[in-house]
């Protein structure tokens, strides 16, 4: 596609509107235009209810907007019907959630390979092994998630995302359930995915210290992008959050 070169955005939202049935009248997304490029780490922040999770769901093709366009690797998602939409998502997108979303009955290894099995592609075992090594879980392949700490579980979730070589990883509060040290490990691994693999990362967070790992912070309020910050630090993020919340 024309606009998906090395410098083109992996994910592009143009004037995206999402209105929930029975909502209070204010749309969850009220016309959001934003793009996320390969090899960039983006944080999305904003007050509770500002539309962060809805933005992630629409950008990932998990939810359909009521207006506007979402392009993933240059492909307009609104034009895709199932199962093409699911295929596009499986091929290009990785997810990391606050609650890990691992299959408890499967081993670490089976969890990491599951998305590729579901996609019907032949799992790249050598890369999966490399990825487990990268996240510090080599040797834990046969463990069940129940035998792991929260930080280790989240690193399995990250390995699962990376194993499919996604162009973009969407992370919804990936450090929300972790202590400081485990959270830092996960953030460092997301950073590595951006710097070494040129993955785009889009991470929703409430934590200025987590956002400071990003290259850029996008601030939402009332379903709109109200501010942006490049090269964020804990201090500049905290100050901007205060300003956005007070406005």
Footprint of ligand ATP (CB under 6 A) = 20, 23, 28, 46, 48-54
For ligand ATP, the closer of residues 30 and 201 by Cβ is 30
How far apart are CB 52 and ligand ATP at their closest, in Å? 4
3-state secondary structure 182-231: HHHHHHHHHHHHHHHHCCEEEEECCCHHHHCCCCEEEEEECCEEEEEEEC
How far apart are CB 113 and ligand ATP at their closest, in Å? 30
From its phi and psi, is residue 29 left (phi > 0), alpha (psi between -120 and 50) or beta? beta
On whether the CB atoms of residues 212 and 38 are closer than 8 A, the answer is no
User: Which tokens is 15 given?
Assistant: 């004037």
**Radius of gyration from C-alpha coordinates of the chain:** 18
How far apart are CB 49 and ligand ATP at their closest, in Å? 4
For ligand ATP, the closer of residues 11 and 113 by Cβ is 11
For ligand ATP, the closer of residues 20 and 66 by Cβ is 20
Give the distance from CA 243 to its chain's centroid.
25
Which SS3 state, helix, strand or coil, does residue 73 take? Answer: coil
For ligand ATP, the closer of residues 58 and 162 by Cβ is 58
How far apart are CB 147 and ligand ATP at their closest, in Å? 30
């Amino acid at each position: 596609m024309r606009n998906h070169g090395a410098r083109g955005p992996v994910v592009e939202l143009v004037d995206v509107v999402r209105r929930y049935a029975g909502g209070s009248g204010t749309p969850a997304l009220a016309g959001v235009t934003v793009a996320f490029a390969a090899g960039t780490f983006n944080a999305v922040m904003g007050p509770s209810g500002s539309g962060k999770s809805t933005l992630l769901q629409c950008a990932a093709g998990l939810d359909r907007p009521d207006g506007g366009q979402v392009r993933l690797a240059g492909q307009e998602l609104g034009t895709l019907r199932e199962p093409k939409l699911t295929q596009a998502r499986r091929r290009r997108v990785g997810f990391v959630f606050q609650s890990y979303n691992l299959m408890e009955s499967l081993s670490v290894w089976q969890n990491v390979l599951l998305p590729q099995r579901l996609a019907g592609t032949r799992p790249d075992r050598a890369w999966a092994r490399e990825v487990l090594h990268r996240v510090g879980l080599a040797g834990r392949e046969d463990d069940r998630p129940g035998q792991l700490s929260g930080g280790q579980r989240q690193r399995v979730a990250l390995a699962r995302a990376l194993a499919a070589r996604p162009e973009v990883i969407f992370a919804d509060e990936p450090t929300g359930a972790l202590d400081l040290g485990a959270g830092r490990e996960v953030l460092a691994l997301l950073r590595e995915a951006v710097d070494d693999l040129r993955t785009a990362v889009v991470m929703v967070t409430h934590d200025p210290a987590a956002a400071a790992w990003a290259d850029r912070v996008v601030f939402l309020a009332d379903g709109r992008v109200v501010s942006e910050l490049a090269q964020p630090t804990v201090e500049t993020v905290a100050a901007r959050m205060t300003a956005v919340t007070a406005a």
